[in-house]
Amino acid sequence: MPDLDIETILAAQSGDEDASRVILERLQRPVLATIYRFLGTRFRKDAEDIAQDIFLKVFRAIGRFDPERGVKFTTWVYTFVRNHCFDILKKRRLKTTSMSAAGEDGDSWDLPDEGVRQPDAHIVNDELGSAIREALGGLGDDQRMVFVLREYEGLDYASIAQVMGISQGTVKSRLHRAKETLRDRLQPYLRAGA
Amino acid sequence: MSQDRQHPAGRPHDGEPHDGIWPGEAEWLRWEPPFEPSADFSDRVLGAMGSDRSTPSDGEAKDDIPQDDITLPRHILDAFEVPEPSPDFVERTFAAVWSDVGGSDHTVDDAAVGPPDEEAWEDRLDAYGVPAPSASFVTRTLAAIQAERGGGERDVQPPRPVRMHVVKSGARSGWAAAAAAAVLVGLGLFWWMSNRNGASDGPNDADLVVQAFVPPAADHSPTLTAIAMARVLDPSEQIAAAPDPLLLLAAGELGR
């Protein structure tokens, strides 16, 4: 996603209404999509309220954003998204299914057993969507956020590292493990696609 | 583990305080712990602590950890679709942001916001569910009713009669009439004493009292006074209609 131009950001920092609206319109979809994909469907009804809270925080703090520090504005906003979503999970004590537990107990997954059947073509979209949602939900919070930022939002490693507060090497290793897990979980669909 | 470590108390040590029973501090520090955790102990503990089990084994970019080299098919990832923002999301959020940051001249565009989402309210109401009665609720309740009925076949008690407020009559009403008559006589006597020396130029005390309660335009005619007296003296009116102090005062004219 192309970053917002510096003039718009500076204008919003000075309280310009139009510039603020431009920022909001530009970022509404990626912010909502990240919330939705990271928190999962159980937060579907709350996604817009959560996004609104995040934008409130962003605009309260927009005066502190310093373009000279080499951080993209969108990356800065994703930091708010990440922190707010992690806070929500922490407060609601949402328990995510761990991949290692699933590996020990395959019955906890709704995916079809290997070799039993292949996804039918006419229902593959719904089933695939459900499968990828559940597979993502089975990842750990850090892995899931890294994966969503990389694969869905298109952030580069450096930006993800800034959002997550980790090194780029850790970003890569978490991405690798997340994809490894998803590949195992989505094996029937990968074979069908091949 | 060596034999002297298992029995250190009597082992001599050069240059260290040793009481012959307990080892010195330097000797404690040289000992190996009685047992060591297995190599994967810390990994297992850390893995059990957090919801993100990948964290302890990420290796923080160690060389032996494979990098991001797996490519998942795009069509699979794209199957995770997300809903579009509501048409009024920007307007609502902008109104909230603008009021929060102190902007004062922004007004919400009602046309852009549109009507309230009734379905959203229904969803929220549906989410506020109540638990269904337990499966044994009816059975337990019926059993309790049966037990109570079989416990003594008690007669059904009639409802407790409600005591209605009734007007007092008889002796009490007689006392009330006597008290009202005494007040009347007292007022008349007061008026008569204040006027027995003849009419004066200004109003006397009784007139002032009466005028204080009766509007100037009030009818001071003997007819009104007679009606008031009749009401005061009629026993049937004494309780149903409380003595009117204005009329009682006006009735003092009779004693003139």
Q: Do A190 and B67 touch (CB under 8 A)?
A: no
A40-52 confidence digits (pLDDT tens): 888 888 899 999 9
B66-113 confidence digits (pLDDT tens): 677 788 888 888 888 888 899 899 999 989 888 877 655 555 555 555
Distance between CA A46 and CA A117 in Å, rounded? 36
Distance between CA A180 and CA A160 in Å, rounded? 19
> Residue B206, SS3?
helix
Q: Do B76 and A132 touch (CB under 8 A)?
A: yes
ipTM of the shown complex: 0.75
Contacts of A137 by beta carbon, 8 Å cutoff, 6+ apart: A40, A96, A97, A144
B42: enclosing H helix or E strand: helix B41-49
Rg (CA), chain A: 19
From the candidates A128, A177, A182, A191, which should be mutated to test the interface with B, based on the most B CB atoms within 10 A? A177
From the candidates B57, B65, B75, B76, which should be mutated to test the interface with A, based on the most A CB atoms within 10 A? B76
pLDDT of residue B83: 87
User: If we measure between CA atoms, which residue out of A178, A132, A150, A101 comes closest to residue B66?
Assistant: A178
Dmax over CA atoms of chain A, in Å, equals: 62
Mean pLDDT of B237-241: 49
Under a CB-based contact definition with an 8 Å cutoff, are residues A143 and A174 in contact?
A: yes
% of chain B beyond a pLDDT of 90: 1
A116-153 confidence digits (pLDDT tens): 444 444 455 678 888 999 999 999 999 999 999 999 99
Chain A residues close to B52, C-beta within 8 Å = 140-143
User: Is the model's pLDDT at B129 over the cut of 90?
Assistant: no
Residue A60's pLDDT band (cuts 50, 70, 90): very high
Among chain A residues, the shortest Cα distance to B120 is held by A45
pLDDT of residue A154: 93
pLDDT of residue A51: 94
The minimal CB distance from A182 to the residues B60, B72, B120 is found for: B72
Q: Is B72 exposed, middle or buried (0-12, 13-18, 19+ CB in 10 A)?
A: middle
User: Is the model's pLDDT at A102 over the cut of 70?
Assistant: no
Does A167 touch chain B if contact means CB atoms closer than 8 Å? Answer: yes
pLDDT of residue B191: 80
pLDDT of residue A174: 93
Under a CB-based contact definition with an 8 Å cutoff, are residues B244 and B230 in contact?
A: no
For chain A positions 111-130, those within 8 Å of chain B (CB to CB) are 125, 128-129
User: Is the model's pLDDT at A100 over the cut of 70?
Assistant: no
Chain B residues close to A64, C-beta within 8 Å = none
From the candidates B58, B107, B122, which should be mutated to test the interface with A, based on the most A CB atoms within 10 A? B58
Q: A102 vs A111, A128, B46, CA distance in Å?
A: 11, 19, 18
Here the contacts of B91-98 (C-beta below 8 Å, separation 24 or greater) are B92/A52, B93/A24, B93/A28, B93/A51, B93/A52, B93/A55, B94/A20, B94/A21, B94/A24, B96/A52, B96/A55, B96/A56, B97/A20, B97/A24, B97/A55, B97/A56, B97/A59, B98/A17, B98/A20
User: If we measure between CA atoms, which residue out of B246, B219, B244, B218 comes closest to residue B232?
Assistant: B244
Distance between CA A26 and CA B123 in Å, rounded? 29
pLDDT of residue A147: 95
Q: Do B70 and A132 touch (CB under 8 A)?
A: no
User: Is the model's pLDDT at A182 over the cut of 90?
Assistant: yes
Q: Do B55 and A142 touch (CB under 8 A)?
A: yes
Distance from the Cα of B92 to chain A's closest Cα (Å) equals: 9
Residues in chain B: 256
pLDDT of residue B55: 46
Under a CB-based contact definition with an 8 Å cutoff, are residues A42 and A34 in contact?
A: no
For chain A positions 78-97, those within 8 Å of chain B (CB to CB) are 95-96
Among chain B residues, the shortest Cα distance to A132 is held by B80
Under a CB-based contact definition with an 8 Å cutoff, are residues B3 and B9 in contact?
A: no
Residue B145's pLDDT band (cuts 50, 70, 90): confident
Q: Is A41 exposed, middle or buried (0-12, 13-18, 19+ CB in 10 A)?
A: middle
